Amino acid sequence: MRCAVNGLESEPVLRKLFAFPAHLEHLGVVFIRWTFLRAIFHRGWWLATTLYLVVEAQLTPLQLVTLGTAQGVTVVIFEVPAGVVADTVSRKWSIVLAHLLMGIAMLATGLVTSFQALLMTQMLWGLSWTLSSGADVAWLTDELKNPEHSPLIIGAAARWGQIGAAAGLIGVGLVAWATTLSTAMIIAGSAMLALGIYVLLAFPEHNFVRQSAAARGTVVELFTKGMAVARLDRAVGLLLAITFVINGADEVFSRLFAKRLIELGLPEVPHPVLWLTLLGLATLATGAIALQVVESRLNDIHRRGLIFRVACGVGCFGLLLFALAPNHWVAMAGVILVHGIAWNITRVISIIWMNNRVEGEIRATMQSMLAQAENLGEVCLGFSLAVVAQLLHIPAAIIGAALLVLFADRLIRQLRAQS
């Protein structure tokens, strides 16, 4: 039903939440549907994996973040080459190969518990993401009849990603509760493998011109051009720096929040996985609503910058709330603010800003550089904060993450001045 506000009818929130952008062309629907399905399998898998690493593998705080560091090092090494390959060989096939490797990594993680074996699966998982990050947005922009609609589609896809993640939390969470964490992880990995077939069948590639073997020397040329853009375009350099800092804060928080909740007394009845499922659902609902609110404003560069800063403010507050929480309920509220609002919005804005800033020839390469900045932040800053958590305690590391987000806000002010 509709409700009247100041004499006008407003659409129900749920209808807006599940709506697609107006006059959306077919490839936009395909992209959003793929994002939705991938989020189901990935987020459900990560829910089970988060507990698996703490409860079954019994990893220490330093080991937990070291997994992310190893994954990040892999991405740093392969991200830009993978992006250049997507720019010269095929964007569609990069995504297909990504699903193959990702599914294998997800499956294998549920079959091992030793730290060394988990290190290998996480590195393979990181490699898989290098093949799809950047290639997906570049494919969409190339194949759309109206490329100027890509910001709206990317924003809508992020919102539907939240909805898919919620479905994954429920589905995989129930499977984990009814069977085992390992079983749920293996099922999610198998589904991710199958999703690669959807990409193979539903993603056309008509506007991409594959380079000949002789022309693939442009790999070095495109990489060099991308580095030059990052060096000479101050806005691009600031975007990379902001991404580096925010993801350093995100790494230590994302890897340690479950362990911290258990330390604060997360109930064991009926099962910790169900409590984390409920937390995840609350986080995703908040994130989907937040993305829906800002979605229509992301084409306006001035509003975009303001939203960027507000998201950082919310993230800083949420991190401090989590670090200083007296119990697991208050800490959960901090998780919702950080994961539900701050990280969702900052990531979408970074992708859109970079996508609009650079030309088509190096678009995937620059998106890969953005992803590389994410992983460099995880490797350098995230690991440093993990050492703090190991030597002192988790709250000290989270306070350090909040200080990083404050610094990112300062960089965003400079970015707005450049745009």
Under DSSP, the state recorded for 19 is P
Mean pLDDT, rounded, for 243-267: 89
Full-model pTM: 0.71
* Range 226-236 burial, b when 16+ CB lie within 10 A, else e: beebbeeeebb
**DSSP 3-state of 114:** coil
Residue 370: which CATH number? 1.20.1250.20
Length of the chain: 419
Cα–Cα distances (Å) from 228 to 43, 137, 290, 341, 369, in that order, read 36, 21, 35, 33, 12
Instruction: Reply yes or no on whether the pLDDT at 366 is more than 60.
Output: yes
CA-CA distance, 252 to 261, in Å (whole number)? 14
Residue 16: per-residue pLDDT: 62
Residue 351 lies in a domain: yes
Residue 36: per-residue pLDDT: 94
Mean pLDDT, rounded, for 162-188: 92
Residue 69 is part of which domain span?
Answer: 24-203+220-418
Mean pLDDT, rounded, for 235-258: 89
Residue 212 lies in a domain: no
* Mean of all residue pLDDT scores within the chain: 84
| Residue 108 neighbours by CB distance under 10 Å | 19
Write the DSSP assignment of 129-183 as a string of letters.
HHHHTTHHHHHHHHH-SSGGGHHHHHHHHHHHHHHHHHHHHHHHHHHHHHS-HHH
Residue 10 lies in a domain: no
φ and ψ of 9, to 5 deg? -90, 135
In total, how many domains does the chain have? 1
Under DSSP, the state recorded for 409 is H
Q: Please state the separation of Cα 248 from the chain's center in Å.
A: 13
Instruction: Reply yes or no on whether the pLDDT at 301 is more than 90.
Output: no
Cα–Cα distances (Å) from 22 to 26, 90, 226, 417, in that order, read 12, 30, 34, 32
Residue 215 lies in a domain: no
Residue 6 lies in a domain: no
Looking up tokens 């459900």 gives: 44
**Per-residue pLDDT tens over the stretch 64-89:** 888 888 887 887 788 767 877 787 78
Contact 52, 181 (CB under 8 A): yes
Residue 16 lies in a domain: no
Residue 262: per-residue pLDDT: 87
Q: Where is 242: in which H helix or E strand?
A: helix 234-263
Residue 411 lies in a domain: yes
Band the pLDDT of 158: cuts 50, 70, 90: confident
Query: Considering only CA atoms, which of 386, 407, 406 is closest in space to residue 397?
Result: 386
Band the pLDDT of 211: cuts 50, 70, 90: low
Instruction: Reply yes or no on whether the pLDDT at 167 is more than 80.
Output: yes
Residue 8 lies in a domain: no
**Per-residue pLDDT tens over the stretch 12-26:** 555 666 666 656 778
- The answer, yes or no, to whether the previous bond of 21 is cis (omega within 30 of 0) is no
Contact 319, 398 (CB under 8 A): yes
